[in-house]
Amino acid sequence: MHELFEHTADLGLRATAPNLNTLFEEMAACLVSAMVEDPASVRPLQEVKIELAGADREFLLFDWLKELLLRFDTDHVLFASFDVQVSDTGLTARVRGETYDPARHVLAHEVKAITYHELKVVQEGNEWLAEVIVDI
Amino acid sequence: MNKQAYSGPLEHIGCCCHRIPKSYKAGMRVDGHIYANDKLLEAIRKDQAPDQVANVATLPGIQVASIAMPDIHWGYGFCIGGVCATDPDEGGVITPGGIGFDINCGVRLLKTNLFLDDVKHHMRELVKALFYSVPSGAGRTGKYKFDTTETRRLMGEGPKFVINRGCGVTRDLEHTEANGLIEGGDPHQVSDHAVKRGAEQCGTLGSGNHFMEVQVVDSVFDADVAKVFGLELNQVCVMIHSGSRGLGYQVCDDSLAVFRNCPAKYGFELPDRQLACAPVDSPEGRRYIAAMRAAANYGFCNRQLLMQQAREVFASVFGRSWEALGMEMLYDVAHNIAKLEEHTVEGKKKKVWVHRKGATRAFPAGHPEVPEAFRAVGQPVIIPGDMGRASWVLVGSQGAMEKTFGTTCHGAGRAMSRTAAKTDAAGRKIDKELEHRGVIAMASSRHGLAEEQPKAYKNVDDVVEVVHEADLSRRVARMRPLGVIKG
């Protein structure tokens, strides 16, 4: 489950999940929901593999979202589905999406960047919670 | 979440200045100073922005005070509207959080020799033409394409690079902060990712609060200074608010990844990771400074290309060249930047790194960095407000040199979150409401106008009143919007 929450000048992304893999997938979907009016309009036509190293889970989440944002900004790819494996030393992900097409995709916000502000990955009972503020 | 009100101390110490004593929080090296009146203070207390002012006061090498302008609002790490000066000789740091992701986000004001009567029947046509000619909004690329080598050259040379290709004239440079070129920038310290993000975005507005506005001068407060600035009642101007686009965001991003390990390496603690910083005099600090300066030069180029597109649109709509329409720049100011400047601290002149995160340089008359044309009166300060009410031109004053490291406010400051503004606008037609107020507005995103509606901002007139009273800058002229394009 994921949602956007408010922050004075910017936007917050929040997700909860039963495990870390799903948590990272949900946060990626949450980022897409901040960028595109209708995330369901993005089709999983091409696949890319992303590998990131890092033991700190919060920094790993930051790097993960940053990587997805960079792919949009440089290769103009929007993402539809995510398959993430988080380990103690980093993550590997298979990500599917398609090239941004102004005729079919309505962009909602230009996310400038992911921030460290209030960045959070925590386990609460049986559930994982993540929060991050993005700069709009 | 985190929307608790600030309940800590704010002691009035005179001249619209309110103090957070350094005893408020462990680790504060100096006091916090927030400039505001009672009305603005009430809004400022509603979130944790004052706490962020206190956090900034913990930065190594900070001088005098962690300062905030009356348009302060809750940011990430630094509050927006924050100013801090650090001394490299006292272990002072450089912090990307004190500059912002959008390095050299800033404002440029372009004058015309047109008056309200000349444009009022052409506004719809003019706004449409601007909207379809000037790329705005997320995902848009510009008509100017630069390859990676050219993008690096552009960062090394500043707007001179695009002027040499016919986009503007040399005198534009004299009316740009730092003459459009911050020395010491090194384009080779800017990552390939950043260059790639910026290569096709130069000359685009972006989204968020960025805009291009056609405005009319509706009040003149200081006729003598207005005359020097070439502003008069009912005159039409164009205001441009944008920054260094994806290139600047990526430079900031890259530096945060490097700086995350610096506190442990250099032995200091930070209350918020977004305040990540490195000593100015360290390999990490020096590399970031070189990249940040290069990105700032890109920001000046972006506004130069945006201005040139505005000039071309006016020429086509009014059937005269931009020169014949008197489309000369008043000035271009950066309001997200850090600069090495000479200031007097406790009676001693020293060079400090002044971080301005949503704050504008406001140098007074006689300062050597004020362009010769304005040196007798002071630097023009351009303050964008919201798209329904007003924007301002102020002039730098001596008080700013004495109290705020030569700095004043940068805008109205948000009063509502984006989500709250969107909810508030549900069922309303913001473009129609603006039209009733005499403003034609066009935005490329569905929620752009809702999130940026006038109500989402504090009243810029209140903010300007405080900086005028506190002598951080003085009122010259007020402009109201006639036409707006947004992302």
pLDDT of residue B138: 79
Across residues A56-70, what is the average pLDDT?
95
pLDDT of residue B201: 93
Q: What are the backbone angles phi and psi of residue B123, rounded to the nearest 5°? A: -60, -40
Model confidence at B3, in pLDDT bands (50, 70, 90)? Answer: low
To test the contact with chain A by mutation, choose from B4, B76, B254, B445 the residue with the greatest count of A C-beta atoms within 10 A, namely B76
Query: Measured between CA atoms, how close is A110 to chain B, in angstroms?
Result: 5
Given an 8 Å threshold on Cβ–Cβ distance, is A74 in contact with B419? no
pLDDT of residue B129: 98
B115 at interface of A, judged by CB pairs closer than 8 A: no
Model confidence at B403, in pLDDT bands (50, 70, 90)? Answer: very high
Domain ranges (residues) in chain A? 2-135
Given an 8 Å threshold on Cβ–Cβ distance, is B252 in contact with A100? no
A35 at interface of B, judged by CB pairs closer than 8 A: yes
Given an 8 Å threshold on Cβ–Cβ distance, is B76 in contact with A116? yes
Domain ranges (residues) in chain B? 11-486
ipTM of model: 0.82
**B443-459 confidence digits (pLDDT tens):** 988 788 999 999 999 99
Token pair 């209030």 is found at: A118
DSSP letter string, B211-277: EEEEEEEEEES-HHHHHHHT--TTEEEEEEEE--HHHHHHHHHHHHHHHTTHHHHHT---SSGGG--
Across residues B336-363, what is the average pLDDT?
97
Given an 8 Å threshold on Cβ–Cβ distance, is A116 in contact with B1? no
B38-47, B125-134, B161-170, B174-183: which range is least confident on average? B38-47
pLDDT of residue B4: 83
A129 at interface of B, judged by CB pairs closer than 8 A: no
Active site residue B33: no
Given an 8 Å threshold on Cβ–Cβ distance, is B420 in contact with A131? no
pLDDT of residue B482: 98
Query: Measured between CA atoms, how close is B171 to chain A, in angstroms?
Result: 32
pLDDT of residue B1: 39
Residue A36 has pLDDT above 60, yes or no: yes
Nearest chain A residue (CA) to B100: A135
DSSP letter string, chain A: -EEEEE-SSSEEEEEEESSHHHHHHHHHHHHHHHHBS-GGG----EEEEEEEE-S-HHHHHHHHHHHHHHHHHHH-EEEEEEEEEE-SSEEEEEEEEEE--TTT--B-----EE--TT-EEEEETTEEEEEEEEE-
The architecture that CATH gives domain A2-135 is: 3-Layer(bab) Sandwich (3.55)
3-state secondary structure of B292: helix
CATH topology assigned to domain B11-486: tRNA-splicing ligase RtcB (3.90.1860)
